[in-house]
Amino acid sequence: MGKKLLLKNDHITGIQGYDVYRREGGYASVEKALKTMTPEAVVEEVKKSGLRGRGGAGFPTGMKWSFLAKPPGVARYLVCNADESEPGTFKDRYLMERIPHLLIEGMITSSFALGANTSYIYIRGEYYYVARILEKAIDEAYANGWLGQNILGSGYSLDLYVQVGAGAYICGEETALLESLEGKRGNPRIKPPFPAVAGLYGCPTVVNNVETIAAVVPIVNDGGDEYAKVGIGKSTGTKLISASGHINKPGVYEIEMGITVEDFIYSDEYCGGIRNGKKLKAVVAGGSSVPILPAHLILKTSAGEKRLMSYESLADGGFATGTMLGSGGFIVMDEDTSIVKNLWNFTRFYHHESCGQCSPCREGTGWMEKILHRILEGHGSMSDVDLLWDIQGKIEGKTICPLGDAAAWPVAAAIRHFRSEFEDYIKNPKNIRDVKHYYRLNNLVEA
Amino acid sequence: MALTKEIRFNDETMALVQRMMKRYPEGKHKSALIPILHIAQAEFDGWLSPEVMDYVASVMKIQPIEVYEVASFYSMFNLKPVGKCLIEVCRTSSCWLLGAEDVIRHLEKKLNIKVGETSADGMFTLKTVECLGSCGTAPMMQVGADYYENLNLEKVDQLVSRFKAEGKRKSYTDQPEPRSL
Amino acid sequence: MSKIAYIDNQPFEMKDGETILSFIKRNSGEDLVPTLCDAPNLDPYGACRVCSVDVALKSDGPVKAQASCHTPVMEGSYIFPSTPRITKLRKNIVELVLTDHPLDCLTCEVNNNCELQTVAAKVGIRDVRYPAGKNHLDKKKDLSHPYMTSDFSKCINCARCVRACDEVQGQFVLSMAGRGFDSHIIKGMNTTFNESDCVSCGACAQACPTSAISDVFESKSVVPQEKVRTVCTYCGVGCNLDVAVADNKVKSIQAPFDADVNEGHTCLKGRYAFSFYDHPDRLREPMIKKNGKFEEVSWDEAYDFIASRFTEIKKTYGPDYIAGISSARCTNEENYLMQKFMRVVIGTNNIDSCARVCHSPTAIGMQRTFGTGAATNSIIDLQYTDCMMVIGANPTASHPVTGAKMKQVAMKGKTLIIIDPRKTELTKYAQFHLQLRPGTNAAVLNMMLYYIIKEGLEDKAFIESRTEGYEEFKKEILALNIPELEKVSGVDRNLVRDAAVAYASAKNAMSFHGLGVTEHSQGTFTVMLIADLAMITGNIGRRGVGVNPLRGQNNVQGAADMGCQPYQGAGYLDLKDPEVISKYELFYKSPFPKEIGYKIPEMYDASLNDRLKAVWIIGEDLVQTDPNTHHVKKALEKLDLLIVQELFMSETAKMAHVILPGASFLEKSGTFTNGERRIQRVNKVVDPVGNTKADGQIIVDLMNKMGYPEPDYDPAVQLKEISGIVPFFKGVKWEELGINGKQWPVLEDGSDTEILHLDTFKRGKGKFIHNAFKETAEIVDHGKEFPYIITTVRELEHYNSGVMTRRTRNSRILKEDVLLINPEDARKNSIGDGELVTVESARGEIVIKAKISDEMKSGVMSTTFHFPEIMMNVITSSISDSEAKCPEYKVVACRIRKK
Q: Which of C48, C130, C179 sits opposite A359 (nearest CB)?
A: C48
Is A365:A395 a contact under the CB 8 Å cutoff? yes
Give the pLDDT of residue B8: 94
CA distance A201 to C500: 28
Chain A residue numbers touching B40 (CB-CB < 8 A) = none
Same domain? C408 vs C529: yes
Residue C421 belongs to what domain range? 361-549
Give a yes or no: residue B173 inside a domain.
no
CA distance C859 to C445: 22
**Which residues, at least 6 apart from A244, have a Cβ–Cβ distance to it below 8 Å?**
A88, A90, A250, A329, A330, A331, A332, B93, B94, B135, B136, B138
| Residues C489, C376 share a domain | yes
**Do residues C135 and C268 both lie within one domain?**
yes
Residues 6 or more apart whose CB falls under 8 angstroms from that of C748 comprise C730, C731
pLDDT at A432: 67
CA distance C452 to C503: 9
Backbone angles phi, psi at A299, to 5 degrees: -80, -35
Residue B60 located in a structural domain:
yes
Closest CA to C228 of C618, C625, C646, C687: C687
Q: Determine the pLDDT at residue C1.
A: 65
Q: Which residues on chain B place their C-beta less than 8 Å from a C-beta of chain C?
A: 50, 53-54, 63-66, 68-69, 72-75
| Mean pLDDT for the stretch of residues A1-8 | 88
- Tell me, yes or no, whether C437 and C314 share the same domain: no
Average pLDDT for residues C147-160, to the nearest whole number? 94
Q: Are B154 and B94 in the same domain?
A: yes
| CATH number, domain containing residue C872 | 2.40.40.20
Q: Which residues of C touch B65 (CB under 8 A)?
A: 172-173, 175, 186, 188-189
B131 and B99 part of one domain: yes
The pLDDT assigned to A437 comes to 43
Compare CB distances from A166 to B23, B77, B146 and report the shortest one's residue: B77
What is the distance in angstroms between the Cα of C8 and the nearest Cα belonging to chain A? Answer: 21
Q: Return the closest-CA partner of residue C651 out of C608, C619, C622.
A: C622
* pLDDT at site A397: 87
Same structural domain, B49 and B121 = no
Record: contact C189-B68, CB cut-off 8 A: yes
Pair B112, B43 in one domain = no
Domain span including residue B150: 85-166
What is the structure's pLDDT at C869? 86
Helix (H, G, I), strand (E, B) or coil at C114: coil
**Res C106: pLDDT:** 87
Measured CA to CA, the distance from residue C820 to residue C826 in angstroms comes to 10
Domain termination residue (choose one: B50, B73, B96): B73
- Give yes or no for C245 touching A (CB within 8 A): no
pLDDT at C104 over 90: no
Please report the sign of the dihedral spanned by the C-alpha atoms of residue C125, residue C127, residue C130, residue C132: positive
* B17 and B66 belong to one structural domain: yes
Contacts of C172 in chain A (CB under 8 A): none
Number of Cβ pairs < 8 A linking chain B and chain C: 32
Torsions phi, psi of C843, nearest 5?
-95, -35
Q: Is residue B79 part of a domain?
A: no
Chain C residue set in contact with B, beta carbons under 8 Å: 172-173, 175-179, 186, 188-190
Q: Looking at the structure, tell me whether residues C510 and C646 fall in a common domain.
A: no
The per-residue pLDDT for C443 is 97
Rounded to 5 degrees, φ, ψ at A125 are -60, -35
Query: C429 CA to chain B: closest CA distance, Å?
Result: 12
**First vs last C-alpha separation in chain B:** 40
Q: Do A184 and B77 touch (CB under 8 A)?
A: no
- Percent of chain C predicted with pLDDT > 70: 99
Q: How far apart, in Å, are the Cα atoms of C183 and each of A355, A434, B60, C135, C139?
A: 8, 36, 25, 12, 13
State the DSSP H helix or E strand holding residue C366, giving kind and residue range, or none if neither.
Answer: helix C360-369
CB contact under 8 A, B25 and A92: no
User: pLDDT class for A1, splitting at 50, 70, 90?
Assistant: low
B20: domain CATH number is: 1.10.10
How many domains is chain C built from?
5
- Closest chain B C-alpha to A224 CA, distance in angstroms: 31
Write out pLDDT tens, residues A279-294. 999 999 999 999 999 9
Among chain A residues, the shortest Cα distance to B178 is held by: A129
Distance CA A212, CA A97 (A): 16
Angle at C852 between CA C849 and CA C854, to 5 degrees: 145
Name the residue of chain B whose CA is nearest to C177's CA: B69
The amino acid that residue C272 corresponds to is Y
Q: What gap in Å lies between CA C743 and CA C43, rounded to an integer?
A: 28
For residues C347 and C383, state if they share a domain: no
Q: What distance in Å separates the CA atoms of residue A262 and residue C737, rounded to the nearest whole number?
A: 79
- Contacting partners of chain A (3+ CB pairs under 8 A): B, C
Helix (H, G, I), strand (E, B) or coil at B68: helix
Which is more confidently placed, C104 or B24? B24
Partner residue facing C186 (CB), from B53, B63, B68: B68
C183 to A364: CB separation less than 8 angstroms, yes or no:
no
Provide CB contacts within 8 A for A55, sequence distance 6+.
A81, A172, A208, A209, A211, A212, A327
From the list B25, B28, B93, which residue is nearest A288 (CB)? Answer: B93
Mean pLDDT of B94-111: 93
Closest CA to A7 of A103, A88, A80, A113: A103
Report whether pLDDT(A445) > 60. Answer: no
pLDDT at B99 over 70: yes
Are B90 and B132 in contact by the 8 Å Cβ rule? The answer is yes
- What is residue B6's predicted lDDT score, i.e. its pLDDT? 84
Domain endpoint, select from B73, B99, B122: B73
pLDDT-derived band at C140 (thresholds 50, 70, 90) equals confident
pLDDT at B41 over 80: yes
Query: Looking at the structure, do residues C406 and C478 belong to the same domain, yes or no?
Result: yes
**Residue A447: its pLDDT value, please?**
30
**Percent helix, strand and coil across chain C, each to the nearest 5:** 35, 20, 45
**Cα-to-chain-centroid distance, residue C115:** 31
- In this structure, are B65 and B109 located in the same domain? no
Per DSSP bridges, beta strands A280-284 and A292-294 are: antiparallel
pLDDT at C462 > cutoff 90: yes
Residue A119 has pLDDT above 60, yes or no: yes
pTM greater than 0.90: yes
Name the band, by pLDDT with cuts 50, 70 and 90, for residue C202.
very high
Confidence check: pLDDT of A446 > 50:
no
* Average pLDDT of the residues in C71-86: 95
Mean residue pLDDT across chain C: 94
- The pLDDT tens digits for C657-697 are 999 999 999 999 999 999 999 999 999 999 999 999 999 99
Residues B152 and B108 placed together within one structural domain of the fold: yes
Q: Find all residues with CB under 8 Å of A294, minimum gap 6, and list them.
A: A281, A282, A417, A418
Claim to verify: residue B16 and residue B65 sit in the same structural domain: yes
- Verify whether the Cβ–Cβ distance B181 to A333 is below 8 Å: no
Domain stop point among C211, C245, C278: C278
Strand intervals (E) in C247-326: 249-254, 287-290, 293-296, 322-326
Over range C520-534, report the average pLDDT: 96
Return the number of CB contacts < 8 Å for A and B: 181
Answer yes or no: are the C-beta atoms of C468 and C453 closer than 8 Å. no
Q: How far is CA A352 from CA A406, A416, C382, in A?
A: 13, 24, 43
Average pLDDT over residues C417-426: 96
What is the SS3 assignment for C65?
strand
Q: Tell me the CA end-to-end span of chain C in Å, nearest whole number.
A: 78
Q: How far is CA A165 from CA A174, B44, B77, B78, B147, in A?
A: 13, 19, 10, 14, 17
What is the DSSP annotation of B102-153? HHHHHHHHHHT--TT-B-TTS-EEEEEES--S-GGG-S-EEETTEEE-S--H
> Could you give the count of Cα atoms lying within 13 Å of C131 in the half-sphere of its Cβ?
9
Tell me what percent of the residues of chain C surpass a pLDDT of 90: 87
Please give, rounded to a whole number of angstroms, the shortest distance from the CA of A74 to a CA of chain C: 15
Q: Provide the pLDDT for residue C565.
A: 93
Closest partner residue to B92 among A87, A93, A163, by Cβ? A87
Is A346 close to B103, i.e. CB distance below 8 A? Answer: no
**Which site among A441, A442, A443, A444 would you substitute to test the B interface, given the most B Cβ atoms closer than 10 Å to its Cβ?**
A441
- B 57-86 residues with CB below 8 A of A? 66, 69-70, 73-77
- Between A and C, how many residue pairs show a Cβ–Cβ distance under 8 A? 90
For an interface test with A, give the residue of C49, C160, C172 to mutate (most A CBs within 10 A).
Answer: C49
Q: How many domains, in total, are found in chain B? A: 2
pLDDT at site A378:
86
Is residue B160 domain-shared with residue B91, that is, in the same domain?
yes
Q: Does the structure show a pLDDT above 60 at C197?
A: yes
Candidates C172, C177, C188; nearest CB to B72: C177
Do C93 and A359 count as a contact with CB atoms less than 8 A apart?
yes
Q: Does B97 touch chain A (CB under 8 A)?
A: yes
Q: Are residues C349 and C371 located together in one domain of the fold?
A: no
- C-alpha C338/C-alpha C890 separation (Å) is 30
Q: Which of C790, C768, C871, C861 is nearest to C368 (CA)?
A: C768
User: Is residue C704 helix, strand or coil?
Assistant: helix
Give the model confidence (pLDDT) of A340-383 as tens digits. Answer: 999 999 999 999 999 999 999 999 999 999 999 989 888 899 99
Does one domain contain both C516 and C384? yes
* Same-domain check for residues B51 and B117: no
Q: Does A164 sit within 8 Å of B38, measured CB to CB?
A: yes
Whether C511 is covered by a domain: the verdict is yes
Backbone φ and ψ for C243, nearest 5 degrees, come out as -100, 120
CA atoms within 13 A on the CB side of C761: 30
What's the pLDDT tens digit per position in C553-596?
999 999 999 999 999 999 999 999 999 999 999 999 999 999 99
Residue among B17, B61, B97 with most chain A CBs within 10 A, to mutate: B97
* CATH number of the CATH domain containing C422: 3.40.228.10
Dihedral Cα C826, C829, C830, C835, nearest 10 deg: -60
Domain-embedded: residue C189: yes
CB C668 within 8 A of CB C694: yes
In this structure, the answer to whether residues C21 and C65 fall within a common structural domain is: yes
Residue C103 pLDDT class (50, 70, 90 cuts): confident
**What gap in Å lies between CA C8 and CA C142, rounded to an integer?**
46
Residues C892, A150: Cα–Cα separation, whole Å: 60
CATH, residue C74: 3.10.20.740
Q: What is the CATH number of the domain that holds B146?
A: 3.40.30.10
Query: Which sign does the torsion angle of CA C23, C26, C29, C30 carry?
Result: positive
Q: Which of A90, A97, A161 sits opposite B135 (nearest CB)?
A: A90
Task: Indicate the pLDDT class of residue C52, thresholds 50, 70 and 90.
Answer: very high
Whether residues B27 and B54 fall in one domain:
yes
